[in-house]
Structure 1
Amino acid sequence: MRLATFAAAGLAAPRVGVVVNDTVLAFPEGISMREVVAIGIDAAARLAEAARRRELARPLSSVRLLAPLQPASVRDFVAFEEHVDGVRRSVDGNAGVPDAWYDAPAFYFTNPHTILGPDVDVPFPAACRARDFELEVAVVVGAPGTSLSVEAARDHVFGYTIMNDWSARDLQSREMQVRLGPAKGKDFATTLGPWIVTADELEPQRDADGFLDLWCTAEVNGVVVGRDLLANAGWTFEAMIAYASRDSWVECGDVLGSGTVGNGGCLAELWGRNGSQDPPALQDGDLVTLTVEGIGSLSNRVATAAPAPTIPAVRRRDAAVARQVLR
């Protein structure tokens, strides 16, 4: 199934529905995508069957697709070796992949409060000059769990969606010198969509090692700048869920990004390899389209947010005075 959240004329509030060919049929009023995820794929299929029997089929062209769900949390992994190498060259000038990358599927938390959907403008910070996209696939967690095994994690996969982890590279590079981050280099926007494809739909694309063998393509203003196989990742989604849950919890409605695919899944990877901003950084009005085989396409235009208020300069303490305070 393809499950979407949408707004349409005549509806008092957004609805969840099932996408059938080029139409969408609404689920009962008042149910959110998080609630659909929580009841599981089989129950969602029953809702979809009821919608097919009873609901008006609205053409997709007549509705506005929204972010498919508001996540409980968003973890973003970095599962593609080629991406790590290229972006590291771009951000801090160092070549190669850190040894620690091979130890476990590392991730960071990003902002669940700045989730955007398809076909809306993405407001980059006004101070950003190195604007970038990141082509990812995200898994939607369907049930809570703690310290899961990789095998058990498979039962916690509800479905998949496309994720664009927008990046302010100049802000990211500066803040990460403090050994934290990416922080303000990332948390202004993440796009999800156009819908969630349930896990059963993509099961035939799973290879012998458990990876999803799907082509992923990135275009800027209609020109392809990157293309890679999702199966080139270093870890499966089940391994990512298992690692996220280790000594912690994953919850229903969590979103876990795969990390950016290689071979031009973002501009910074290409900048690192080329030694310059070639292709150029994104500009206002640029249209970024991410396409993943078996899921669909996700498009957004680049824009600029209003300038943010300034913050005070750091208060520098005299070290000798600080030591006296501690005595």
Structure 2
Amino acid sequence: MKLVTFDQDGHPQRIGVLDGTEIAVLDPATPAFASMQALIEAGPEGLDAARAATDAAPRVPVAQARLRAPLPVPIQMRDCLTFEMHLRNARGRMQGIDPMQVEMPQVWYDQPIYYKANRFSVSGPEDEVIWPQGETRLDYELELACIIGKGGGDISRADAPGHVWGFTIFNDFSARDHQMAEMAGGLGPAKGKDFRTANAMGPCIVTADEIGDGSGLTMVARVNGEEWSRGSSSTMHHDFARIIEHVSRDEILHPGEILGSGTVGEGCGLELGKFLNPGDVVELEIEGIGILRNTIAQTRR
């Protein structure tokens, strides 16, 4: 199933099943359908109930609804860095050397590395992304994100797929001036990633039974209709099962947590030597999920 959170004139925010050009609206009076988080917490029984309710549910044309981030305020967000060519390309650009000459830290191969993102700075499909104050190099990042459905701690790699609820598209917009300055101090990213609207996701969550483990998906980014990036989730060095195993070590993962894959190789402007401009329209497309479209604010702050 493709599940969405949406607004419609005269109604509070609701969730539904995306079915072509229509949304099958799930009754918010049913506790499991009160929000996307409630549906995730309802477990397999909640998904079964959503499937059973779809055929008889009232329908809203997608054109008459406003899709929002599927999880408007996630309970936790972590973003990894699992694509080797992204790291090589980015560091190669910054150091002025061939990407294959970049010295890779051993820890990157040993374990998934990640940071915790600002869960309150989420935006959704068609939302405008602000231009952070003083920034000159605003960038997009083409990523796949996994949503945890079943919580737990010390989850084994073999058991990890059973903890995945679904996948969505993630655009980890980045203020590169801010990011580079603060990370030179040994911590971060902070303002380079946490600004309002920076974490765009959507347009839907595709459940794991429909899309599998998230591997082998074609990933494309376009700016103003021109293709800038193309890659595949098959090039992740650490898959989501390994990510879940590592993140849950000595920690508890909770239903509704979001784990980003990191940026696919050549999946951002930094790797390509070009950046966004005010008014640009950024589209990320991932096979089996759809298109996440955002517009950059017309005015620099």
Whole-angstrom CA distance in 2 between matches of 1:261 and 1:49:
36
Match of 1:82 in 2: 85
Match of 1:27 in 2: 26
Matched, 1:285 2:292: no
Measured against aligned partners, the alpha-carbon deviations of 1:92-145 in whole angstroms (never above 9, x if no partner) come to: 657342222111011110100001000010002121101100000000001211
CA contact (8 A) 2:40 2:46 kept: no
Deviation of 1:91 after TM superposition, in Å, equals 4.4
Matched, 1:235 2:233: no
Matched, 1:252 2:255: yes
Match of 1:325 in 2: none
Q: Which amino acid aligns with 1:161?
A: T
Q: Write the mapping of 1:259-298 to structure 2, written as runs, cut at 5 A.
A: 259-262=262-265, 264-271=266-273, 280-298=274-292
Matched, 1:101 2:108: yes
Q: Which amino acid aligns with 2:25?
A: A
Provide the secondary structure at the position in 2 that maps to 1:268.
helix
CA contact (8 A) 1:37 1:253 kept: yes
Q: Which amino acid aligns with 1:214?
A: L
Deviation of 1:42 after TM superposition, in Å, equals 4.4
Match of 2:202 in 1: 193
CA contact (8 A) 2:278 2:300 kept: no
Provide the secondary structure at the position in 2 that maps to 1:184.
coil
Aligned-residue sequence identity (percent) comes to 39
Whole-angstrom CA distance in 2 between matches of 1:301 and 1:50:
35
Deviation of 1:148 after TM superposition, in Å, equals 0.8
Deviation of 1:47 after TM superposition, in Å, equals 2.1
| 1:67 aligned residue (69, 88, 94) | 69
Whole-angstrom CA distance in 2 between matches of 1:112 and 1:58:
29
Deviation of 1:304 after TM superposition, in Å, equals 6.4
Structure 2 CA distance for partners of 1:4 and 1:192, relative to 1, 3 Å: same
Whole-angstrom CA distance in 2 between matches of 1:92 and 1:184:
22
CA RMSD, Structure 1 to Structure 2 (Å): 1.6
Q: Write the mapping of 1:210-229 to structure 2, written as runs, cut at 5 A.
A: 212-229=215-232
Measured against aligned partners, the alpha-carbon deviations of 1:239-270 in whole angstroms (never above 9, x if no partner) come to: 111111111121111000000001x2101112
CA contact (8 A) 1:114 1:187 kept: yes
Provide the secondary structure at the position in 1 that maps to 2:242.
helix
Which of the two has higher C-alpha Rg? 1
Measured against aligned partners, the alpha-carbon deviations of 1:38-63 in whole angstroms (never above 9, x if no partner) come to: 1124422322321421x221111110
Provide the secondary structure at the position in 2 that maps to 1:100.
helix
Match of 1:315 in 2: none
Whole-angstrom CA distance in 2 between matches of 1:151 and 1:305:
48
Structure 2 CA distance for partners of 1:41 and 1:222, relative to 1, 3 Å: farther
Q: Which amino acid aligns with 1:192?
A: M
Provide the secondary structure at the position in 2 that maps to 1:217.
strand
Whole-angstrom CA distance in 1 between matches of 2:137 and 2:131:
10
Higher helix share: 1
TM-score calculated relative to the size of structure 1? 0.85
Match of 1:303 in 2: 297
Measured against aligned partners, the alpha-carbon deviations of 1:154-174 in whole angstroms (never above 9, x if no partner) come to: 111000000000000111001
Provide the secondary structure at the position in 1 that maps to 2:112.
coil
Match of 1:319 in 2: none
Provide the secondary structure at the position in 2 that maps to 1:61.
helix
Deviation of 1:218 after TM superposition, in Å, equals 0.5
**Across the two proteins, how many residue pairs are aligned to each other?**
290
| 2:174 aligned residue (167, 174, 183) | 167
Whole-angstrom CA distance in 2 between matches of 1:171 and 1:182:
8
Matched, 1:7 2:7: yes
Instruction: Give structure 1 stretches of 5+ with no counterpart.
Output: 272-279, 308-327
Deviation of 1:18 after TM superposition, in Å, equals 0.6
Whole-angstrom CA distance in 2 between matches of 1:4 and 1:288:
20
Whole-angstrom CA distance in 2 between matches of 1:83 and 1:192:
20
TM-score calculated relative to the size of structure 2? 0.92
| 1:36 aligned residue (29, 34, 39) | 39
CA contact (8 A) 1:123 1:302 kept: yes
